[in-house]
Amino acid sequence: MSDGLPMFGDHEATVLSAAPVSIHGDAYHDLDVRIDGQPHRVRVMGALFASPPTSGATLTLSFLMGQVTAVR
C-alpha cells in the first residue's frame, strides 16, 4: 500500500475492499482503495457514508490534511 495519501481536494477512488471497524463504540470503515492508479488504505468515519461501502464501488473522497472529510 502506498503511504502518500492526497493532502487535500476531491479524488475518485475505487474500493478494493472494505471492513467495518468499531473503536470504543464509534463506527469506522477501513478501506483499501485505488486512487490515481495507486493503492491506499484509509480509515473513514462511518457517519460519512449514506450506505456501507462495497468492493468495486467508485467513491469521491474529499481530503483535508490527508484525512477523509466527505464521501460522495
Residue 3 resides in a domain: no
> What confidence category does residue 4 fall into, taking pLDDT thresholds of 50, 70 and 90?
confident
| CA-based end-to-end distance of the chain | 23
Set of cell numbers at residue 14 = 475505487
> What distances in angstroms separate CA 11 from CA 16, 41, 66, one per listed residue?
15, 14, 12
Segments forming the whole domain that contains residue 51:
8-71
pLDDT of 7-34, one tens digit each?
Answer: 999 999 999 999 999 999 999 999 999 9
* Global pTM value: 0.91
Residue 1 resides in a domain: no
Structural domain total, the chain:
1
CB 58 within 8 A of CB 13: yes
Residue 12 resides in a domain: yes
Residue 48 resides in a domain: yes
The answer to whether residue 2 scores a pLDDT higher than 80 is no
Least Cα distance to 1 among 45, 31, 46, 44 occurs for: 31
Residue 2 resides in a domain: no
Residue 42 resides in a domain: yes
> What confidence category does residue 3 fall into, taking pLDDT thresholds of 50, 70 and 90?
low
